[in-house]
Amino acid sequence: MVPTSYFIILSAILFVLGAFAFFVKRDLITQFLCIEVMLSAANLAFIAFAKSASSLDGQIIVIFIITVAAAEAAVGLAIILLVYRQKKTIKSEDMNLMKG
């Protein structure tokens, strides 16, 4: 039996990695994937806590979060596609029409 704290540490590492890479990476799709990694980290934490407390809530919450992530992916990729069609680039430093 793997202790719960291992899962939590793993999920914390995943979360911090995702947040860090979000700022470092310069590609919109990669940044979007970083957000997905962060959501997965939260999912892992929820599952681990639900298992250790043997309650069902956490598992149902994970289903909700997965659904939300899928809807977010559809909307987000559509927006990225829209931007790509206008600018022919998906580098985040090229998103600079507005300044001040």
Q: Residue 8: phi, psi to the nearest 5?
A: -65, -40
Site string for another protein, 23-42 (x = CB under 8 A): -----x--xx--x--xx-xx
Angle at 50 between CA 40 and CA 15, to 5 degrees: 25
The set of residues, in sequence order, having a beta carbon less than 8 Å from that of 39 and lying 6+ positions away, is 65, 68, 69
> Is residue 100 a contact point for another protein (CB under 8 A)?
yes
Note the Cα 16 to chain centre separation in Å: 11
- Quick note: the x/- pattern for another protein over 63-82, rule CB under 8 A, is xxxxxx-xxxxxxxxxxxxx
Site for another protein contains 60 (CB under 8 A) = yes
Smallest separation, CB 21 to another protein (Å): 11
β-strand partners of 91: 27
Give the C-alpha separation, 54 to 83, whole Å: 45
Question: Is there binding between residue 9 and another protein (CB under 8 A)?
Answer: no
Residues binding another protein (CB under 8 A): 8, 11, 15, 18-19, 22, 28, 31-32, 35, 38-39, 41-42, 45-46, 48-49, 53, 55, 57-58, 60-61, 63-68, 70-83, 86-87, 95, 97-98, 100
